[in-house]
Amino acid sequence: MRVLVVSCTPWRKDNNIGNTFTNIFRGMDNIEIAHICCGSGRPDTDFVRYHLHIGEKDILRNLVNPKHRCCRTYIYPECMEENNASKGKSRSLVFDFMRIHRFQIFFFIRDLIWSFKNWICDDLKGFVEDFRPDIIFGMFLDRSCLNEMLFFLKSYTGAPLVVYAWDDVYTLRQFSLSPYFWINRLIQRRKLRRISGLSSLMYVISEKQREEYSGMLGRECKILYKGFEFDRQPSYEVKNRPLKLVYSGNIGTGRYKTLSLIGSALHVINKENVKAVLYIYTATPIGRRIRRSLNFPESIRLMGYASSEDIAVIQREADILVHAESFDLRDRLRVRQSFSTKLVDYFNCGRCIFAAGSKDVASIDYLMRNHAAVIAYKKSGIAYKLGCLISSPQLIKKYAGRSWECGTNNHRIRVIQSNLQKDLDFIVRKIP
């Protein structure tokens, strides 16, 4: 079975898209993957051989000079050699600025560039014809570039479409004062409803999202999680002095504010002697505002980026793994349907989880329903809950077991892949 995956992000070991899709598909029988990325950047994976990337810069250069190609094709292992040659080059300051500030004008410009549709070219058609996909597997996102690509691929190939939603990109339960945000939301809602109608199957990331999308889109939705084997529980004894707390992942969408509250609580706990230190590993660009809010020298260490392989080791060396969601209304609404795939990594480590966030966020709700973490549901509860946990080795060990149990019950990769294989096989067999 040939599956053409379509996203807005390169398939890389060091980002969530690449990490999650590799986890879901690797090890499945008789499956071949190719990837189309509606964006710039390079792939970095040994799992997918064929990649096609279309970046805004190349679309613009093609408009000026038709001889310049919109599409860049990467083939493993040659693309890995190119990555090794480019290591050490500085990251784009413009890209970092856009990631931090997320001004709506950036998204308007991006959508305007893609509207020219010169990216529908012989290189794109040739890539699709050579791969001959049995299934198109696309992200369900409020991105005009991705949605237009899915419309084209569905029409051009006739292959069944499967979509996968990670965030709330459809409902109107959002907060924004930007007119462009709401105009774009309404436009993309129409496109997403059409994409839902064209798709043979829709996966979602959480129970909350399944309930809402099933009702609003009038269709069945299935939850698709990341998973691991969960065959041997890691042993755990409290051994670090001071205790080692680890947070890994994105600290945007207001999460850094919650981590700041945790740092403030640790600052009080550590007043007489240092009992616990929070280590933050993130690829999120750290601006002055974020750095100031996390400035608790005795209690917080900003460690920067670490590879997924290193993070797995770091998490197992921790006493407590931290999950943080924003308490601010705007950020809370943005992530309320989302399930953090990082939590499955936490479960696989068999370590105690301390979480802070509102009950109406899907990740917090999931941890609560499965009794998988010590949770502070309000800002005012962080210091008390964290203090109780740090002072009780028995409680830390108890929740390390509960974390593993949640993974065992809900995230066994063999079960997840077996169900995914059955779904995809059924869809392909339905084609006359």
Q: Which CATH class is domain 2-227+413-429?
A: alpha beta
Percent of the chain that is helix, strand, coil (3-state, to 5):
45, 15, 35
Per-residue pLDDT at 120: 97
Output the tens digit of pLDDT for each of the chain's 432 residues: 999 999 999 999 989 999 999 999 999 999 999 999 999 899 999 999 999 999 999 999 999 999 999 999 999 987 666 655 555 444 455 555 555 555 667 778 888 999 999 999 999 999 999 999 999 999 999 999 999 999 999 999 999 999 999 999 999 999 999 888 899 999 999 999 999 999 999 999 999 999 999 999 999 999 999 999 999 999 988 889 999 999 999 998 899 999 999 999 999 999 999 999 999 999 898 989 999 999 999 999 999 899 889 999 999 999 999 999 999 999 999 999 999 999 999 999 999 999 999 999 999 999 999 999 999 999 999 999 999 999 999 999 999 999 999 999 999 999 999 999 999 999 999 876
Sequence-distant (≥ 6) Cβ neighbours of residue 349 within 8 angstroms: 234, 312, 315, 316, 318, 321, 403
How confident is the model at residue 86, as a pLDDT?
Answer: 54
Bridge partners of 353, per DSSP, are: 321
Bridge pairing between strands 71-75 and 50-54: antiparallel
**Cβ-count burial of 47 within 10 angstroms (0-12 exposed, 13-18 middle, 19+ buried)?**
middle
In the chain, domain spans: 2-227+413-429, 243-410
pTM: 0.92
Residue of 202, 187, 147 lying closest to 423 (CA atoms): 202
Q: What is the pLDDT of residue 250?
A: 92
Architecture per CATH, domain 243-410, reads as: 3-Layer(aba) Sandwich (3.40)
| Residue with tokens 């069944």, as numbered in its chain | 160
Torsion of CA 192, 197, 200, 205, to 10 degrees: 40
What whole-number distance in Å separates Cα of residue 396 and Cα of residue 236? Answer: 10
Given this chain, do its domains 2-227+413-429 and 243-410 carry the same CATH topology? Answer: yes
Q: Count of CB atoms within 10 A of residue 316's CB?
A: 15
Residue 66 corresponds to which tokens in the numbers above? 């038709």
What is the per-residue pLDDT for 237?
87
State residue 213's pLDDT score.
98
